[in-house]
A and B are shown apart, each in its own frame.
Chain A
Amino acid sequence: MHEMSVAMEVCRLAEERLSPAELPQLITVGLDVGDDSGLEPDNLLFCLEALLAAPPFRNARPDLTRCPGDVLRVTYLELDDDRPDD
């Protein structure tokens, strides 16, 4: 039920890591989600898709990897340096 809170924290981490110019270039956010993390992966995906589609992002995609345990971490950020500014 707290997937939205977690999705918002993921976006905050991405914003912290990237410069304002890089934010619209973000194309993928990689996440490890543990089976015992207390999160429902489909729900988390839904929340992340909604948040990453909106400014300051531009249609970035979440890439969830299920794993054992209660891990929950952002594993990578993928950027397209050539993405046009529209």
Chain B
Amino acid sequence: MTVRTIELREPVMARNNEIAETVRARLAAAGVPALNFVSSPGSGKTLLLERTLAALGDELRMAVVTGDVQTQNDADRLARHTTRLVQAVVTGGACHLDAKQVDTALEAIDLAATDLLFVENVGNLVCPASWDLGEDAKVVLFSVTEGEDKPLKYPKVFRQARYAVLTKTDLLPYVPFNVEQALGFAREVNPDLQFFRTSALTGEGLDEWFNFLRQLARRPASV
């Protein structure tokens, strides 16, 4: 047998990262800041986006790409709050969105008429961390019902995120959850994280979140 070896040093994620860079360039050229929402299933990504679309819809032209393993439920929920396009990506089993899917979804979105792009990733705190989608920043959400230690258990995604949203604060009276400890753990993993605390139910903390988005849309370069 004649064995021949081809030496390689080929990063496996190279192609995804290349596509992500083209997405990033396209968004930058159009001046559209893009946020990639990641969290475990059910932390409140869709409900926060629903509230956001409803509250800022008259001020900002927002587009959403939402990924789910199955169903278009989230896209349907979001579409109720906006006349603009909500692009649904059904990953058919995959536990994350990839850059190619976002690139394809952008084909249907008029970026010239968009101020802000949201990408709702598949609910999962592990896999989305490995796929750059071309976003400007990741927003990691975690709810008060998930326990304080999520940042320590899933450090990769907390390290990559620029913003962290502690969700469902209306439930604090009913669950043992130490907010300061949770934020402390998150800071331990990523000292640069900027925090928001929200309740999509009572509206607590949403004004600060909306103001942040207003600023972001106005100054896309400073994400």
Contact = CB atoms under 8 A, between A and B. Distances in A.
Interface in B129-171: 129-131, 156
A27 to B, nearest CB: 7
A64 interface: no
B114 to A, nearest CB: 28
A31 B94 CA distance: 22
Interface stretch (B5-13, B35-43, B178-186): B5-13
Main secondary structure of the interface of B (DSSP, over half): mixed
Nearest to A38: B130
A83 interface: yes
Contacts of A2: 94-96, 126-127, 130-131
Interface residues of A, number: 29
B8 A76 contact: yes
A49 B2 CA distance: 23
A77 interface: yes
B3 A78 contact: yes
A12 B12 CA distance: 10
B96 A80 contact: no
Contacts of A15: none
B198 to A, nearest CB: 27
Contacts of A17: 6, 8, 10
Given A1-B126, A1-B127, A38-B130, A9 B1 contact: no
Contact of A74 (B4, B12, B96, B130): B12
10 contacts: A2-B127, A5-B94, A5-B95, A5-B127, A6-B12, A9-B12, A30-B8, A37-B130, A73-B9, A82-B1
